[in-house]
């Protein structure tokens, strides 16, 4: 008999030095509703270890299910992303950039991701060296995602990102910033490994759900977006996965 794994996802918590207790109700709600929690980047606001410590404290106090996470662009801001990761790792958070995880017969892999745009308007590696470096960063994230997905042996796989892999879930933001909200280069590995679902954050004013070119569901679970879409509910998205 197949079992159902309840997955709760949210991104962009943006913990500051004054955020202690900020996510108490959110984490308690996730603990009651889900079997595993996905935190989709921008865990901190300025990428400070002190911010991560407050988040870690709230996770330990109020989140009673396993937490899997990727970092976001804000977590890099102060140049202390390794310390941020160490603080969260010590609190029991599974950071997917360096590992894959399996819970209840479902595999999880993830990376932060990067920008560059979508489809035919995606930035290509041509011209100045700094443009080529920008594109290479996006390529590197896609390669790391592909490698991680390849390590999973579970029939069903879920990808956790910060940046969007498709254009559809950033619609609602100003079009001028679309190239900085995600990259189609992340979509290729998702399609090749036929993942079951994808979660990302980053686009606070985007769209909740879209699909890759192969029909894989993609969910934008940025906390500000979920607060706007479901003001009477706690800001997380719940997905039930039959393992």
pLDDT score for 81: 97
Residues 6 or more apart from 1 whose CB is under 8 A from it?
none
Beta strands 209-211 and 197-200, pairing class: unpaired
- Compute the distance between CA of residue 92 and CA of residue 87 in angstroms, rounded to an integer: 9
pLDDT score for 97: 85
Q: For 15, left (φ over 0), alpha (ψ -120 to 50), or beta?
A: beta
What architecture is domain 4-242?
Answer: 4-Layer Sandwich (3.60)
206 closest CA partner among 188, 187, 185, 226: 226
Residues of the chain scoring pLDDT < 70: 1-2
Q: What does the pLDDT look like over 118-152, one tens digit per residue?
A: 998 899 999 999 999 999 999 999 999 999 999 99
Beta strands 209-211 and 217-220, pairing class: antiparallel
Query: Coil, strand or helix: which one is 10?
Result: strand
Helices 81-90 & 49-62, crossing angle to 10 degrees? 20
Report whether 46 contacts 14 (CB < 8 A): no
- Compute the distance between CA of residue 62 and CA of residue 55 in angstroms, rounded to an integer: 10
pLDDT score for 150: 96
pLDDT score for 243: 79
65 closest CA partner among 28, 15, 116: 28
Which pTM was predicted?
A: 0.96
Dihedral of CA atoms 20, 74, 185, 242 in degrees, nearest 10, equals 0
pLDDT score for 2: 64
Using the structure block, give the residue that is written with the tokens 């390529």.
Answer: 139
Domain locations in the chain?
4-242
Residues 6 or more apart from 161 whose CB is under 8 A from it?
40, 41, 70, 110, 111, 112, 113, 145, 186, 198, 199, 200
């Amino acid at each position: 008999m197949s079992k159902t794994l309840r997955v709760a996802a949210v991104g962009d918590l943006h913990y500051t030095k004054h955020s202690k207790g900020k996510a108490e109700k959110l984490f308690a709600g996730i603990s009651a509703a889900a079997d595993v929690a996905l935190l989709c980047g921008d865990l901190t606001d300025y990428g400070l270890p002190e911010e991560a410590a407050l988040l870690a404290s709230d996770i330990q106090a109020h989140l009673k299910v396993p937490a899997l996470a990727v970092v976001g662009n804000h977590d890099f801001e102060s140049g202390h992303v390794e310390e941020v990761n160490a603080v969260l790792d010590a609190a029991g958070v599974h950071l997917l950039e360096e590992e894959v995880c399996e819970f209840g017969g479902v595999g999880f892999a993830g990376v932060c991701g990067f920008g560059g745009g979508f489809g035919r308007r995606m930035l290509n590696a041509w011209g100045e060296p700094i443009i080529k470096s920008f594109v290479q960063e996006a390529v590197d994230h896609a390669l790391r995602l592909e490698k991680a997905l390849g390590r999973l042996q579970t029939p069903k796989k879920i990808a956790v990102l910060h940046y969007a892999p498709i254009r559809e879930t950033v619609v609602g933001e100003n079009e001028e910033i679309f190239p900085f909200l995600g990259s189609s280069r992340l979509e290729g590995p998702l399609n090749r490994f036929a993942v079951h679902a994808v979660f990302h954050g980053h686009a606070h004013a985007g769209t909740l759900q879209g699909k890759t070119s192969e029909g894989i569901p993609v969910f934008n679970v940025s906390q500000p977006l979920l607060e706007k879409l479901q003001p009477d509910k706690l800001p997380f998205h719940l997905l039930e996965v039959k393992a």
